Structure 1
Amino acid sequence: MAFTHPVSRPFLTGRELEYVTDAVSGGWISSQGPYVRRFEEAFAAWNGVAHGVACSSGTAALTLALRALGIGPGDEVIVPEFTMIASAWAVTYTGATPVFVDCADDLNIDVTRVEEKITPRTRAIMPVHVYGRRCDMDAIMDIAHQYNLRVVEDSAEAHGVRPVGDIACFSLFANKIITAGEGGVCLTDDPRLAGQLAHLRAMAFTRDHSFLHKKLAYNHRMTAMQGAVALAQVERLDDILAARREIEARYDAALKDIPGITLMPPRDVLWMYDLRAERREELRAHLDARGVETRLFFKPMSRQPGYLDPVWPTLNAHRFSEDGLYLPTHTGLTADDQEYIAGAVREFYTSG
């Protein structure tokens, strides 16, 4: 059905059309032209990081990051149990093995349980800033230094959380805080890693473009049109984050006293407004009938067919996934929209 209040909607109110028109008028429809480079530089600068390398998706960014760090068959990477499956898939794409760690009460990886999963084969930790909550990066970096591990931050849902790992990877999918429709970007302070990321995303061409490819690489380049949209989005990132903080505050105020609803911990940046709900499926049907779209929490990795593990019912990630959902959350959401959505939630729990 067509929802009057969809979960997500892109917020394209800046110079997106102007920049895309300029790119197309100049014939820049592949990865050539100035827009991809300008986006990389602008996003890296906003984050206080030296290098940005744009690519075709957030999943591609994670895969490139792991490959640039030399991770492959025989290696293990620590990955959260509670995350979108792309985090685990990126590890699997390299031939390495994801090793899952359960989540804490904020849905992020439980750092107190990371060390017990480290083996001689462990090469990296992949913290995921779930729904815009920053992981305990101080603790993660301490563990990484102690065991000589690399850190790849999955920041797909956390534009505005400043990177501290070896490489941070962001998604630009249409439902993200900033978007290019599709796309991704890696940030790093290491010029050697930046060079490897750029080399691997573009089929490992040599400088003379002689069609001699010395390693397995990818066609993960971002198009100039995507770069044009992404640049316009970065130019408004401060305003976008501020608007989302207001959206979070309005939801908190409107939902905090509703019986049957459990609010989640505050977010460092708001991607999606997540909560836990009694009689979740009935609530979703009620909201659906009123034009309000919702989404379920992620399914734990050990419930996924590719990583199935019978231990999953004992995990926090399983418990949260059974009653969690998120409400419409996009930058253009108005106070009236939120009043309607919160009112529909309240109606369900108070109408008897």
Structure 2
Amino acid sequence: MSFKYPVSRPALEGRELEYLTGAVEDGWISSQGPMVGRFERAFADYNGVAHGVSCSSGTAALTLALRALGIGPGDEVIVPEFTMVASAWAVTYTGATPVFVDCGDDLNIDVTRIEEKITARTKAVMPVHIYGRRCDMDAVMDIAYQYNLRVVEDSAEAHGVRPVGDIACYSLFANKIITAGEGGICLTDDPKLAGQLAHLRAMAFTRDHSFLHKKVAYNFRMTAMQAAVALAQVERLDDILATRREIERRYDEGLAGVPGITLMPPRDVLWMYDLRAERREELREFLAGESIETRLFFKPMSRQPMYLHPDWPSLKAHTFAEDGLYLPTHTGLSAADQDFVIDRVRAFYGAG
């Protein structure tokens, strides 16, 4: 179904076409040439981090980060119960085991419950900045220091949240704050980790590029065409974030006090405008009839078939998953568009 008011729409309003055309005209369309390096440097500089290593997706970024940190079979990684399944899958891809911790009221991992899940096999913790809300990284880093754990930040939904862990991983999928259509990038201040990330993403070729591969690696490289689009997006990131802050403000003001709606805590950066709704499925059907798209909250990890757990009904994450949704949240959404969405939500609950 096509919606007049979709949840997400990429905004390609800068130099994307110029840079993409330049890459094609120069003949550099693979992972070679200058464009990939330009994007990596620009994004790393924006975040105040020394090294950026691009790759083919956000999931690939997480997988590379874990592998670069030496995570593998027999290890455990602390992962939020409430997240997109790719966070857990990246752990599974390495042969390690994800160990889930329930969320707090802001949907992020409940940092007060991390320590109870740490065992002798725990090697890392993966905080996820859900929907653009920064996790309590001071608490995470204190725990990591105390237990000698590595920290991989899943920042797929949080471009503009400055990283502090060993490696931060970003997605550039079409619905993200900035996009390359597909793609991802890892940020780190550690030059050795950066080298290992770059080595693993490119099939672990030796320096002489002979076809001797001493470890199992990946073909997770970003193309120059993706990097061209991503570079243009980075150049506009401040403006994109400012526009999204205004979208958040209008929703907050327009939906405050609506009976049946529970607003969520503020976001550090806005990826999706999330809320909790009574009679959620009826609301979604009503809004769809008005050509307004909505999306459901993530399904918690212990409800995923590969991670099913008998204790799932008692977890806070499942309460949120039962009534949570998000509304259209893209920079092409005009004030008039947003007013219409707000009006239709209010009308459904009789708060017109």
TM over 0.5: yes
* Corresponding residue number in structure 1 for 2:232: 232
Is the aligned partner of 1:249 residue 2:249? yes
Matched residue type, 1:36: V
Is the aligned partner of 1:90 residue 2:90? yes
After the TM superposition, which residues 66-145 of structure 1 pair with which residues of structure 2 at under 5 Å, given as runs?
66-145=66-145
Cα RMSD (Å) of the superposition?
Answer: 0.8
Equivalent pairs counted in the alignment come to 352
Give the C-alpha shift of residue 138 in structure 1.
0.2
Give the C-alpha shift of residue 137 in structure 1.
0.2
Q: Secondary structure at the match of 1:262?
A: strand
Matched residue type, 1:67: R
Matched residue type, 2:186: C
* Corresponding residue number in structure 2 for 1:205: 205
Q: Secondary structure at the match of 1:78?
A: strand
In the alignment, the residues of structure 2 paired with residue 239 and residue 216 of structure 1 have an alpha-carbon distance, to the nearest angstrom, of: 41
In the alignment, the residues of structure 2 paired with residue 335 and residue 329 of structure 1 have an alpha-carbon distance, to the nearest angstrom, of: 12
Q: Secondary structure at the match of 1:274?
A: strand
* Corresponding residue number in structure 2 for 1:341: 341
In the alignment, the residues of structure 2 paired with residue 351 and residue 123 of structure 1 have an alpha-carbon distance, to the nearest angstrom, of: 50
Give the C-alpha shift of residue 33 in structure 1.
1.2
Is the aligned partner of 1:24 residue 2:27? no
Matched residue type, 1:142: D
Percent of counterpart pairs with the same letter?
Answer: 82
How far does the alpha carbon of each residue in 1:213-262 deviate from its partner, in whole angstroms, 9 at most, with x for none?
00000000000000000000000001110110000000000111211000
* Corresponding residue number in structure 2 for 1:265: 265
TM-score where L is the length of structure 2: 0.99
* Corresponding residue number in structure 2 for 1:295: 295
How far does the alpha carbon of each residue in 1:258-307 deviate from its partner, in whole angstroms, 9 at most, with x for none?
11000000000000000000000000000001000000000000000000
Matched residue type, 1:292: I
How far does the alpha carbon of each residue in 1:140-187 deviate from its partner, in whole angstroms, 9 at most, with x for none?
000000000000000000000000000000000000000000000000
* Corresponding residue number in structure 1 for 2:223: 223
Matched residue type, 2:32: Q
After the TM superposition, which residues 35-46 of structure 1 pair with which residues of structure 2 at under 5 Å, given as runs?
35-46=35-46
Give the C-alpha shift of residue 205 in structure 1.
0.4
User: Is the 8 Å Cα contact of residues 258 and 351 (structure 2) preserved in structure 1?
Assistant: no
Matched residue type, 2:263: L
Q: Which runs of 5+ in 1 are unaligned?
A: none
Matched residue type, 1:197: L
Distance 1:248 1:351, change over 3 A: closer
Q: Which runs of 5+ in 2 are unaligned?
A: none
User: Is the 8 Å Cα contact of residues 259 and 351 (structure 2) preserved in structure 1?
Assistant: no
- The runs of at least 4 aligned residues of structure 1 exceeding 3 Å deviation read none
Distance 1:351 1:269, change over 3 A: closer
Give the C-alpha shift of residue 332 in structure 1.
1.5
TM-score where L is the length of structure 1: 0.99
Give the C-alpha shift of residue 351 in structure 1.
7.6
Matched residue type, 2:306: G
Matched residue type, 2:19: Y
* Corresponding residue number in structure 1 for 2:164: 164
In the alignment, the residues of structure 2 paired with residue 187 and residue 200 of structure 1 have an alpha-carbon distance, to the nearest angstrom, of: 15
Give the C-alpha shift of residue 310 in structure 1.
1.1
Q: Secondary structure at the match of 2:116?
A: helix
Matched residue type, 1:339: D
How far does the alpha carbon of each residue in 1:124-147 deviate from its partner, in whole angstroms, 9 at most, with x for none?
000000000000000000000000
Is the aligned partner of 1:184 residue 2:152? no
* Corresponding residue number in structure 2 for 1:151: 151
Give the C-alpha shift of residue 29 in structure 1.
1.1
Q: Secondary structure at the match of 2:349?
A: helix
Matched residue type, 1:119: T
In the alignment, the residues of structure 1 paired with residue 274 and residue 164 of structure 2 have an alpha-carbon distance, to the nearest angstrom, of: 25
User: Is the 8 Å Cα contact of residues 141 and 151 (structure 2) preserved in structure 1?
Assistant: yes
* Corresponding residue number in structure 2 for 1:64: 64
In the alignment, the residues of structure 2 paired with residue 295 and residue 2 of structure 1 have an alpha-carbon distance, to the nearest angstrom, of: 14
